[in-house]
Structure 1
Amino acid sequence: MGNSVLKAHLETAQKTGVFQLTDKGLTEFPEDLQRLFGNLRTIDLSGNKIEVLPHMVGKFSLLKSLSLNHNRLTFLPDELCKLKKLETLHLSGNQITRLPSEFGQLSALKNLILSGNQLRAMPTQLCSLRHLDVVDLSKNKIQAIPDEVSGIQTIELNLNQNQISQISVSISHCPRLKVLRLEENCLEISMLPQSILSDSQISLLAVEGNLFEIKKLRDLEGYDKYMERFTATRKKFV
């Protein structure tokens, strides 16, 4: 990719606040973006070969959306956590193994997409984030949902295609959780807390492709209560 192409994109971004350069084979985060610390609200560098996110990423003080889907990132720098206006972070299809310890400081974050990475545990840092709407952790290597999950504030939690065999009863206490996706995991029906059905806010529970027949769900105590929530939510969408 020539310098003239990058220059043209930089000039456009200066006017629009949006820098988008996808599927161009970039191996590094463009250093020239530092000229636009005070301009950019959106950066999309998806579909490249970027291995490292530089420390300077923390200086984009107005940034609301950052997309780096399908790159080669293995970790995220602590400086990322300084982006106080960041609402959308898309990082699917990388090789990220964990989140920075300060990740909970991304106080404006609403949408977090981390599908197709190498996470082995559910990141408990998410429990500090108060405005989450959607968290997608599908296609990772997560094996359990820990007790700390009760603090998560998201409306939708996608854990499809992990290796989950254990779920803490605490998931029933998530105050805003309406949609829980657990398809294609390693769950026995005995490991599914009945309180998800009887005592939670969850109105859509997707558990196809686990180690039990889906019709067995109907035999669990609390299933009728769950179906009431499910039906009431469906009516809102019709």
Structure 2
Amino acid sequence: MGNSGLKQHYDTAKKTGTLTLSKRKLDEFPPNLRALAPLLRTLDLSENKFLHLPSELKDFTLLKQLNISHNRLTDLPEEMGALVKLECLNASSNQLKMLPFSLSNLTHLKQVNLSDNCIKEFPFMFCGLKHLDVLDLSKNKLTDVPDAASGLHVTELNLNQNQISIISRKLAQCSRLKTLRLEENCLQVHAIPVTILKDSKVSILALDGNLFEMKQFADLDGYEQYMERYTAVKKKMF
């Protein structure tokens, strides 16, 4: 669709602060998009052909929601750290290997979806973000959950479908963590920290598809304390 076909979208965006440009075969910002930088609060660029995002992204400082999923991105620009009002970032289904440390500036983030990428190292830049509730790192190439992950304030951490074999016992120190998803990883039963079972607030611990039988999990020290939390949560749901 050419610029003339986009004009109506731009006109509407000026009124609503929302612009959807998904499935447009875009690999760079259309010229008129930059003029909307001072207005947009929601920008959807999903299902396009972006390999990189331009540095001009830093001008979109009012953005609260950014969807760049299902592109061909191999990195994110350092300038993303200027999007200080951003609350929801969806960069799933790309080819991201590294993330800019400037994302640690985004103190209003509530939800981050980085699933289905190529990330090998745990993204420390999200530790310390006190409003971040959900961090989805499923379908990546993580092999361990390091000590520094204890700085996360999330209530849900999704690590399904990685290659994780090591989990730091300090993860139990995450003061808000209630849902921990670790399905389809490379965990042996002894790699599950007793501290998470005994001393954490985790009430949903998803472990199917690892290198042990779930009956082995039930034999772990601390399993009963975990099940008390799990049962209490389930009762609240009904």
Partner of 1:234, secondary structure, is helix
Aligned residues: 238
AA matched with 2:182: L
Counterpart in the other structure of 2:45: 45
What's the offset of the Cα at 1:97?
0.7
Q: Does 1:92 align with 2:92?
A: yes
Counterparts of 1:3 and 1:227, CA distance in 2: 57
Unaligned runs of at least 5 residues, structure 1:
none
Aligned positions of 1:116-135 closer than 5 A: 116-135=116-135
Matched residue type, 2:196 = I
Deviating 4+ runs (over 4 angstroms): none
Q: CA RMSD in A?
A: 0.9
TM-score scaled by length of structure 2 = 0.98
Residue of structure 1 in register with 2:236 after alignment = 236
Task: Measure, in 1, the Cα distance between the counterparts of 2:88 and 2:52.
Answer: 19
User: Once structures 1 and 2 are overlaid, which stretch shifts more, 176-185 or 17-26?
Assistant: 17-26
Does the CA contact (< 8 Å) of 1:105 and 1:128 recur in 2? no
The residue aligned with 1:221 is 221
Distance (Å, rounded) in 1 between the aligned partners of 2:155 and 2:180: 9
**Structure 2: how far apart are the matches of 1:61 and 1:104?**
15
Instruction: Measure, in 1, the Cα distance between the counterparts of 2:98 and 2:29.
Output: 20
Matching residue of 1:25: 25
**Partner of 1:13: helix, strand, or coil?**
helix
| Structure 2 residue ranges without an equivalent (≥5) | none
Taking structure 1 as the reference length, what is the TM-score of the superposition?
0.98
Aligned position for 2:34: 34
Q: C-alpha distance in 1, partners of 2:128/2:199?
A: 23
Percent of aligned pairs sharing the same letter: 53
- Residue pair 1:91, 1:113 contacting (<8 A) in 2 also: yes
Would you say the 8 A contact 1:18–1:40 is kept in 2?
yes
Question: Once the two structures are superposed, what CA deviation does each residue of 1:46-82 show, in whole Å capped at 9, x if it has no partner?
Answer: 1111111111111112110000110011111111111
Q: Deviations over 1:86-121 (max 9, x none)?
A: 000001000111110221100100000000001001
- Secondary structure (helix, strand or coil) at the match of 2:218 reads helix
Which residue does the alignment assign to 2:70?
A: 70
Aligned to 2:184: 184
